[in-house]
Structure 1
């Protein structure tokens, strides 16, 4: 049997007599222009079915093949796509409409601005998203006049094309044959050239650090890769995608292998085999991706503890949405490495690599030369192996590729290795010329190859020299500080060939030149250690530094300064902040504990002019330092007095009184009615949403209803109404046009109301819509034998019914019992609640005598739910 239920050829004729059924299946909310194009072009498209129907043979034309043919024809004729082409990210991402195929633009808005008006201005809306760095972006297609109007709006920061970036590869995966490694692990030449093999033998471990590969995805099942986490910001359209972040092109998998292919005896080994990989798919199957998707992925990295971003992609255009995301991630401590490009001396450095926040990486070959295709420019920061680089390819294969795409993951992996040793990505994020941290160390230790700076930047990545330059010991922050004692803390990294080392601390009062040393203790490398000092002087500033003696030389670490507390119970009230109209954030500083081992620190608060105080919950402190608490349940636009409080064993003290005003109460929109009614019909899964909203400020702006499958982010349908004033009511009808898939499913319906100031209130409810009826019933199935012009025939008298009144066909089959061959069949158009008929089936090859046959009836409804029965009959003689 076929997978799909067939339509008889006569069904095509019925379809052509009612083409609106097809149109409603294909188009949920066509515009007037779309319908005009449809009327002009529908006839030749549907005419194609007359050609296809005879070619489909006895089984007829299936509904899905018909719709596929129609949608392809309609798409080509009237410019409609059959699938959405947008990304799949759901975090903070509000899909406002379906993707189209025109020029996409990104509109950047100021913080606190509602996106609804911009959304409504788009001819096609791809997404709107609030950004972690402040403001929001709307991605869509906008007319020329609309874009010009945007430039005059104060809330619009910028409007720009949503540029396309492509993988920075000089030789494509398809152009290079897979390599047979004969079950032996190979170390790529680039891993050896940058000194990474020395790190492997020294036991360097980067497992505490995460590198995100923002690319075409990564093969999740490759034998040489371990990718515990991934996320899709672009669609994976391959039929064999194992995850939504799988890799159709092989580019991202190759980059991931260079960063962290496992040292497991198979295939290749990466630069940092122990690193944690994260696959973020931002490029689709053609190797391209939009700026807005790449920016969303960069923001996700900054918000989800990613340490290093690898961007082996680029393009020639600047983009504010990318720059905003890069600045946000860089400020939050993410090291960003990007491919410089492959256009040689003519194209300059690609974006995003050209931005200050990125380490722009050029390529070298096996002779330490810079290939002619490697990008040149003032912004080149480092070069790394990028020609004839062997790495992983999907399906447990391996391949040689060229490009600055291949150079970039070498630098990203070593950056991760250095960050695993406790270094920050940069000590000064606002100083590009002298950033310090990992970025500065990579520059300082790069190997000069003798080329101009616009070709090699600071030089060739040198991982072993970079690790050697790391201080082996670090002075950490001083803890448990009191009036006369404190705990000094230090840490150290792995030291080759050393089982134990001697460590200690040196300390002094900050205005004294001579150091005092603590007792030495022996510890294992890669350990943390501490010493408690006592008999210190209260209210005094001290310097401290850790000291290491490995037997060959003595190393002193960075200096940390701290101040001891008061020799009495003391607390200060710090600056206060009104968080909103009912909450204040209190800040206090415990300056001294006296002889108490612990202190209960809290706040007390009262309205200005009242006599009675109310106290907050206390928190236990065993050392001096700052503490905070949120004081809530307050009145809007009211002045409050706040004092920090400290209670010891037998003593209690308060800080000075600080006055602060709460904010005015905003006029938050309210949802007064939200009722759902199932209104599904034979064409759509539908729900009527009855709503009533209000706002005491009288500045309501928009009410929107969204339909989704429960537990999923993708928006199926959205209806919105503009409203003015302080109240409004109405009914929204949301629908799922794919009733075949959607009937009987659980849905989530969201009602959102927005005011002119951007305040939003929403409610959600889940319900099941358009419950499916059982499969059709076979009410009569009687088979008798007869003779037709000397040929025996089976006469089938049948009747079927369907409780849901959605019968969609009846099939009969005559099967020769001895060999199972179908010798005749018949299809009948059955629609509605019930149908009946009498049909005859004959064996056209009957050669006399008598033979047994099986007769089967099969009744199907709209949802392809099927009931069938079979009986045996003897024909002949």
Structure 2
């Protein structure tokens, strides 16, 4: 591949400022081509300003940059793949402020999955959970003991402070630890690593998510919580998920909130994730939740109270909330039995589910049950 010619073409195309230019992901078929590109790009971007808008994604040998879809690539077409860098959205359907957490600081979902009964055996101690989301409220009293530094992918010079609320809510369900005065999450001694990829509107690009997964792989997370999704399939996102899976990281993803019966959103639909749908406190599938054969497990996701910005609490509903219960449960499992692979963990979860209630329940569907999960892994030994 003529790397210099490709970079000049990229520079000229980006400099043309065509109105229809959207962000694209360009993946290199050859690792050698990608490495040559990065070396040459580092040299040339000083003299060619448009090239400063190129973002590198080493985990999938790719870059992201503004590029019109109609841009012709006759000389380079056989050496690269191009796909749209799509927008991706969080999976919450409603929210409202609440004064406090009831039931001695243990939200109903944490109770329902029987997490408190497991705390004498495991609390998720030192299990690292990367939460790719909107950031976290570092000053929230219920989260102070549970937060590691993380990263802000939107502004690398700043901590990943939450300016939306969703990320703080997810973190609270996974690992809040302030029972006497606030709330307690599923795995109160797990460590949350906030990875801010979403802006204050709860929106991100696929490339932001890939950078978040890359950071989680390089920093050796045990679990990645992904409470978001999109309708379209992305080969680039799949490749990033595959990299995390091969690194032994459990990727937990929400199914989506469109009430669909036969399909779910990506990345939850990829086989290398644990896909999660939502239930109500009556152990029925929540009306908003996607469901069906692609779902691995169901968990509480309706009217979930958790931490919010400013030291407050909000009630939220969505498959996002269900996913955080499953991530917390897997943290309990990994602290109890370190070294389990992602495939083994998925098998344990599916083997230990509690039957769902309701007239029409998908085949082989069940709700998360922490005590049955721990018993199932004990029987396996």
Of the three residues 110, 115, 120, the one matched with 1:191 is: 110
Q: Look up the SS of the partner of 1:336 in the other structure.
A: strand
In structure 1, how many angstroms separate the alpha carbons of the residues matched to 2:165 and 2:330? 24
Partner of 1:258: 173
Q: Look up the SS of the partner of 1:419 in the other structure.
A: helix
Partner of 1:445: 352
1:666-685 alignment runs, 5 A limit: none
Deviation at 1:315, TM superposition (A): 0.8
Asked if 1:421 is matched to 2:318, the reply is: no
Q: Look up the SS of the partner of 1:470 in the other structure.
A: helix
Deviation at 1:235, TM superposition (A): 4.3
1:273-672 alignment runs, 5 A limit: 273-345=188-260, 348-426=263-341, 435=343, 437-450=344-357, 455=362, 458-471=365-378
Deviation at 1:165, TM superposition (A): 0.8
Task: Name stretches of at least 5 consecutive residues in structure 2 with no aligned partner.
Answer: 1-13
Classify 1:465/1:263 alpha carbon distance in 2 versus 1 (closer, same or farther; 3 Å): farther
In structure 2, how many angstroms separate the alpha carbons of the residues matched to 1:299 and 1:447? 34
Is the Cα–Cα contact under 8 Å of residues 293 and 363 in structure 2 kept in the other structure? no
In structure 1, how many angstroms separate the alpha carbons of the residues matched to 2:15 and 2:175? 54
Deviation at 1:197, TM superposition (A): 1.2
In structure 2, how many angstroms separate the alpha carbons of the residues matched to 1:398 and 1:392? 5
In structure 1, how many angstroms separate the alpha carbons of the residues matched to 2:276 and 2:171? 16
Relative to total residues, which structure has the larger strand share, 1 or 2? 1
Relative to total residues, which structure has the larger helix share, 1 or 2? 2
Asked if 1:170 is matched to 2:93, the reply is: yes
Q: Identify the structure with bigger relative contact order (alpha carbons < 8 Å, sequence gap 6+).
A: 2
Partner of 1:155: 79
In structure 2, how many angstroms separate the alpha carbons of the residues matched to 1:456 and 1:274? 35
Asked if 1:107 is matched to 2:26, the reply is: yes
Deviation at 1:199, TM superposition (A): 1.0
Deviation at 1:146, TM superposition (A): 2.7
Is the Cα–Cα contact under 8 Å of residues 299 and 325 in structure 2 kept in the other structure? yes
In our comparison, the structure showing a higher alpha carbon Rg is 1
Provide TM-score, normalisation by structure 2. 0.85
Deviation at 1:115, TM superposition (A): 2.5
Deviation at 1:194, TM superposition (A): 0.5
Is the Cα–Cα contact under 8 Å of residues 383 and 457 in structure 1 kept in the other structure? no
Deviation at 1:292, TM superposition (A): 0.8
In structure 1, how many angstroms separate the alpha carbons of the residues matched to 2:339 and 2:105? 32
Classify 1:312/1:274 alpha carbon distance in 2 versus 1 (closer, same or farther; 3 Å): same
> Across the two proteins, how many residue pairs are aligned to each other?
358
Deviations 1:674-704 (A, max 9, x none): xxxxxxxxxxxxxxxxxxxxxxxxxxxxxxx
Deviation at 1:417, TM superposition (A): 1.1
Deviations 1:833-877 (A, max 9, x none): xxxxxxxxxxxxxxxxxxxxxxxxxxxxxxxxxxxxxxxxxxxxx
Of the three residues 129, 140, 143, the one matched with 2:68 is: 143
Task: Name stretches of at least 5 consecutive residues in structure 1 with no aligned partner.
Answer: 1-30, 35-78, 80-99, 237-241, 428-434, 473-556, 559-877
Provide TM-score, normalisation by structure 1. 0.38
Deviation at 1:129, TM superposition (A): 1.9
Classify 1:452/1:345 alpha carbon distance in 2 versus 1 (closer, same or farther; 3 Å): farther
Of the three residues 143, 152, 170, the one matched with 1:225 is: 143
Is the Cα–Cα contact under 8 Å of residues 449 and 459 in structure 1 kept in the other structure? yes
Asked if 1:213 is matched to 2:128, the reply is: no
Deviations 1:606-656 (A, max 9, x none): xxxxxxxxxxxxxxxxxxxxxxxxxxxxxxxxxxxxxxxxxxxxxxxxxxx
Q: Look up the SS of the partner of 2:225 in the other structure.
A: strand
Deviation at 1:277, TM superposition (A): 1.0
Q: Look up the SS of the partner of 1:149 in the other structure.
A: coil
Deviation at 1:424, TM superposition (A): 3.6
In structure 2, how many angstroms separate the alpha carbons of the residues matched to 1:356 and 1:126? 33
In structure 2, how many angstroms separate the alpha carbons of the residues matched to 1:380 and 1:181? 29
In structure 2, how many angstroms separate the alpha carbons of the residues matched to 1:385 and 1:167? 17
Is the Cα–Cα contact under 8 Å of residues 339 and 405 in structure 1 kept in the other structure? yes
Is the Cα–Cα contact under 8 Å of residues 233 and 294 in structure 1 kept in the other structure? no
Of the three residues 182, 196, 205, the one matched with 1:267 is: 182
In structure 2, how many angstroms separate the alpha carbons of the residues matched to 1:362 and 1:422? 25
In structure 1, how many angstroms separate the alpha carbons of the residues matched to 2:268 and 2:197? 16
In structure 2, how many angstroms separate the alpha carbons of the residues matched to 1:280 and 1:439? 24
Is the Cα–Cα contact under 8 Å of residues 118 and 371 in structure 2 kept in the other structure? yes
Deviations 1:17-49 (A, max 9, x none): xxxxxxxxxxxxxx9978xxxxxxxxxxxxxxx
Is the Cα–Cα contact under 8 Å of residues 218 and 246 in structure 1 kept in the other structure? yes
Deviation at 1:265, TM superposition (A): 1.2
Partner of 2:58: 131
Q: Look up the SS of the partner of 1:341 in the other structure.
A: coil
Q: Look up the SS of the partner of 1:297 in the other structure.
A: helix
Is the Cα–Cα contact under 8 Å of residues 277 and 299 in structure 2 kept in the other structure? yes
In structure 1, how many angstroms separate the alpha carbons of the residues matched to 2:262 and 2:322? 18
Deviation at 1:122, TM superposition (A): 11
Q: Look up the SS of the partner of 2:355 in the other structure.
A: coil
Deviations 1:183-215 (A, max 9, x none): x94210000110101012x24231121111110
In structure 2, how many angstroms separate the alpha carbons of the residues matched to 1:218 and 1:468? 33
1:842-853 alignment runs, 5 A limit: none
In structure 2, how many angstroms separate the alpha carbons of the residues matched to 1:320 and 1:453? 34
In structure 1, how many angstroms separate the alpha carbons of the residues matched to 2:252 and 2:100? 31
Deviation at 1:346, TM superposition (A): 6.7
